[in-house]
Amino acid sequence: MATIDLSNPPPAPVGILGALPRRVSLTLPELQCVAARAGGAPLPFEMLTPGGERELGGRLGRTPATLESEAYEAAISSLHDAESSLARRGLLVDTSMDEGLLGAVGLLATPTVALDLDVAAGDSRIKAWHRQHGAAVASLATADGIVFELAWFPTDQWADELARVTVLPEEFALRDSVVPDQVVLPYALADAASEAVRSNRSDLLSVLVAEHAGETRDAGGRPLPDLEVGVLLSGLSTESRGRLRALVADVSGAMTAVVGVVSWVLLADGWRALRPRRTEGVDRIEVRRVDPGDLAHELAPVLAEVTT
């Protein structure tokens, strides 16, 4: 079995520029080539297997999934040879692959902490995998499964890198939201109201609010009037323009153990964190306004369970 030697860490960076995170854009074939040169290091995502889809499409006709799969394959096939393109970029010299690339892919394969991020904002979707071991972090991100950004950086710069994941595109227009910056409501009410709006039964909101009268509270702990509760419940569903899901796992042992999940929702005016609570024997959810730079703070308690 191929092994990856991480016993000899790279020398400490010299100067300010050497300490900055390094990012390299790689096509999927280039990334696979680097992984093969890194002792066959596994990548943190599963490859698509379009063969089954194509066979099913042959029996049932050409489906949207089949067309998308074929377009993806065509895009990958049109890319330049991986070794040739890496050589042109100076990342592969003769038979020697860039040591930074090898180390980053090696870290992706042998971490102690795994953080998977899935971010959707409007029509765009980004999947990112962050892997940490000791004082180093490597990350891999893609928006289309064709071009990937591979980065590696010291752990003390992780917070800045996490903030980059949730920055909204420049063309993403924001507007005022009917949802307060902070509110706490029963989970059962939030769940039932969301289902009612999705089912085009907004007329049920007033009934649901009445059943939980006085249980939705503002930042100061004061109960909100039923009318305001109905408006914010409708806003939570109708304003939704995206979401973030961050899953933290301990992979230091033989078995992977999921430690926790952080969830955000993208409303009309930006991100809101969804924080579960249990008070007075009731499951509740806090909806709090957050900015991209707050993601590291949101993840800190979960990461602390693994890194301490």
E strands in 169-303: 182-186, 217-218, 242-250, 257-267, 270-279, 282-289
At 234, the amino acid letter reads S
Alpha-carbon gap, residue 76 to 54, rounded angstroms: 17
Mean pLDDT along residues 135-164: 93
Q: Which of 171-175, 200-204, 212-216, 255-259 has the least mean pLDDT?
A: 255-259
Tokens of 74: 């065509």
Mean pLDDT along residues 215-226: 93
Bigger pLDDT: 59 or 267? Answer: 267
Bigger pLDDT: 109 or 12? Answer: 109
Per-residue confidence band for 16, with pLDDT thresholds at 50, 70 and 90: very low
Domain ranges of the chain: 21-165, 182-307
Question: Is pLDDT above 50 for 92?
Answer: yes
Question: Is pLDDT above 80 for 231?
Answer: yes
Q: Which of 61-65, 69-73, 140-144 has the highest mean pLDDT?
A: 140-144
Write the pLDDT tens digit of every residue in 182-200.
999 999 999 999 999 888 8
Mean pLDDT along residues 274-283: 89
Q: State the CB neighbour count (10 A cutoff) for residue 162.
A: 24
- Which residues are bridge partners to 121 per DSSP? 124, 242
- Identify whether the C-beta of residue 179 lies closer than 8 Å to the C-beta of residue 238: no
Write the pLDDT tens digit of every residue in 135-147.
999 999 999 889 9
Question: Is pLDDT above 50 for 36?
Answer: yes
Tally: H helices and E strands in the chain:
11, 13
Distances (CA, A) of 96 to 36, 38, 53, 64, 92: 12, 11, 38, 42, 6
Q: What is the pLDDT of residue 307?
A: 66
Question: Is pLDDT above 50 for 49?
Answer: no
Bigger pLDDT: 23 or 61? Answer: 23
Q: What is the pLDDT of residue 14?
A: 41
Phi, psi (deg, nearest 5) at residue 234: -65, -40
